[in-house]
Structure 1
Amino acid sequence: MATPPSTPPLPSAPIVLAGATGDLGFRIARELLKRGATVRALVRPGNSKPEVTELQDLGAEIATVDFNSVTALTKACAGAACVVSALSGLREVIVDTQKRLLDAAVAAGVPRFIPSDYCIDYTKLPAGSNRNLDLRREFNQRLDQAPIQATSILNGMFTDLLTGQAPVVLFGMKRVLYYGDADQPLDFTTTANTAEFTAAAALDPTTPRYLRVAGEVASIRGLQAAATAVTGTPFKLLRVGGLWVLGTMISVTKTIMPAPDEVFPPWQGMQYLHNMFTGLPKLTPLDNARYPEISWTSVREVLAARN
């Protein structure tokens, strides 16, 4: 585990944040402001989300900017200490829009860039195993060639998904569903903890190329124990089959419901679980101790909040 760095002085230059009205981006903005940072939130023209007003009320500077214009983005990035991307989307966002944002950051002389990764370690995965992570890999190959210091935040799966979108802990059936090995270590981090860590990293000029965190490393058996503990009802394991079964299900689902324009169609979530169950993208070493002020939320706490 990495040794915590000495606390760097708070930069007077603003942190430019793209995607600030999304769930993760808004949380990052709040964490930056809590730390006394100056936040310049980039907002598309016509964005009427309530988060825009909330950000203003919290003290963020709102910069309305055309994300299709490198010139406009360059002006918006002027004088920044770091550009943080929390954008979400497919190729036109993760590759194309981020590329314009990167070009703008370089043109404006911004020293640091944090891309919208926030995921498992895609650098260890074979190309083609996960569409959304392939896009991140493609953008980061461009980022590595740019004259700017880059830092990717890798946090495994958002723990919050275990109480809803990720079909693993099945509360109604009192089962924990899985494929492959029930003892495979898996990385989980809450959205809130990811935002805290990202904010701390944005204000730290000494960050390396990759930072890896996990609020908790838990196997399927660990999830079973956590669910049993918080509900007071024994949960059982439900092994559907080997990883090849999940792979087949992904292919079938993608054929029946391709949904190519959706960011998170059902087969995309299945790809993510398949990746995790292989063990290939396991995060190591973990950098949790880098910012010791962060209190990491456990799987049990997340499941208990749902219950």
Structure 2
Amino acid sequence: MAQTIGVAGFTGKFARCVVNSLLQNPGISVRGFCRDPSKLPLSVTASSRITIIKGDFNDKDALQTFVAGTDVVICCYLGDAELMSEGQKLLIDACVAKNVPRYIAGDFSVDITNIPYGALPPKDPCKDILKYIESKDIQGIHILIGVFMETFWSDFMQIWDPKQKRLSYWGTGHEIWESTTYGNAADYTAAVAMDTTAVGIQQFLGDRKSLIEIAEIFAKVYGYEPDLHNLGALEDLHQSMHKSLQINLADVMAWMPKFFFYWSQNEDTRLKKDLDNTNYSHVVPVTFEDFIRCHKFEELASAADNLTFEIPDRS
């Protein structure tokens, strides 16, 4: 079935993966919205199946031009609270004005539904949008995927230290990490976008493993055991992250990784057992072991920086 799907925040790394997934399907055309199309490679701007609309997040005319004629809009914004809250509201308003039937919100990592306001500050805008969509004449979709697997290994999470060959953690090490690769998350997002019956909260995962289990997989694949460094109990982390927030509010990297670690390990953010993976059986979940086997250990920390557009050569 021919569809036109809008992707806002088109130059972002997750948007690239989503577009790659969408264009594997010959009947799909993509409309992209971004501030600076010059960041896009020629393979994207020259594609007959992609139309790019340039505009700032608060350019109401450009937003309406972008969403007009789309069957669903996917928000791939990533930025500050103004972009994630006010920016999404303007995008939703444009969708409503142009009768777009469905909107996929910019949620993805960490289940926001049971987190109180202020408990994970970067996700408060997502909670705002959850309520905002309910008040509008449009079907909202919220895709939750745990932690991006590439991000788990990145410097941001402060878990993997490639120089020391060390995995650092708070808690016992037996707490479960729920994680999905960018590629898997994009495949599920594309599948949901093309499925006109898909609405509401959708939950997908590549894998569930404890840090102890991940270390065992690491040792099996690479042939040596990583050093395991315990940083304290989760209660210690809770105190530390709030202290860091109070002292270094402007320095987000001093506290944000701790908040994401804590809430990724909290039972209130666990995804459901009967995942929505089964609705799209053509998507093959990538496990931690799959991911590790596909990367040299020195590539793990930079995996999130090496995502590229791979536009299919199809008319």
Which of 134, 140, 147 is residue 150 of structure 1 equivalent to? 140
Q: Which runs of 5+ in 1 are unaligned?
A: 1-9
Amino acid at match of 2:284: S
Mapping 1:125-204, distance limit 5 Å: 125-165=115-155, 166-204=157-195
- Give, in angstroms, the shift of residue 163 of structure 1: 2.7
Q: Give the match for residue 279 of structure 2.
A: 290
Q: Give the match for residue 80 of structure 1.
A: 70
Aligned residue pairs: how many? 292
Which of 48, 54, 77 is residue 43 of structure 2 equivalent to? 54
For 1:35 and 1:239, the matched residues in 2 are separated by 46
Q: Give the match for residue 4 of structure 1.
A: none
CA shift in 2, pair 1:266/1:295, >3 Å:
farther
Amino acid at match of 1:219: S
Mapping 1:216-295, distance limit 5 Å: 216-259=207-250, 265-284=253-272, 285-295=274-284
Moved more, 225-234 or 147-156: 225-234
Amino acid at match of 1:69: D
For 1:49 and 1:229, the matched residues in 2 are separated by 40
- Give, in angstroms, the shift of residue 254 of structure 1: 2.6
Report the secondary structure of 1:83's partner residue: strand
Contact 1:91 1:135 in 2 (8 A): yes
Report the secondary structure of 1:48's partner residue: helix
- Give, in angstroms, the shift of residue 199 of structure 1: 0.8
- Give, in angstroms, the shift of residue 294 of structure 1: 1.1
- Give, in angstroms, the shift of residue 66 of structure 1: 4.2
Report the secondary structure of 1:34's partner residue: coil
Q: Which runs of 5+ in 2 are unaligned?
A: 298-315
- Give, in angstroms, the shift of residue 170 of structure 1: 3.5
Which of 264, 289, 310 is residue 300 of structure 1 equivalent to? 289
- Give, in angstroms, the shift of residue 268 of structure 1: 1.0
4+ residue runs of structure 1 moved beyond 4 angstroms? none
Q: Give the match for residue 92 of structure 2.
A: 102
For 1:175 and 1:76, the matched residues in 2 are separated by 46
Which of 44, 54, 57 is residue 64 of structure 1 equivalent to? 54
- Give, in angstroms, the shift of residue 217 of structure 1: 0.5
1:215 aligned onto 2:210: no
The CA deviation string for residues 218-275 of structure 1, in whole angstroms up to 9 with x for no partner, is 1122111122112211235332211121123213333443336x6xx24112101001
Contact 1:65 1:76 in 2 (8 A): no
Contact 2:53 2:62 in 1 (8 A): no
For 1:62 and 1:172, the matched residues in 2 are separated by 41
Moved more, 225-234 or 191-200: 225-234
Identity %: 26
Amino acid at match of 2:124: D
- Give, in angstroms, the shift of residue 174 of structure 1: 4.1
RMSD over equivalenced CA pairs, Å: 1.8
Contact 2:205 2:275 in 1 (8 A): yes
Contact 1:163 1:306 in 2 (8 A): no
- Give, in angstroms, the shift of residue 139 of structure 1: 1.6
- Give, in angstroms, the shift of residue 197 of structure 1: 0.8
Report the secondary structure of 1:41's partner residue: strand
Report the secondary structure of 2:235's partner residue: helix
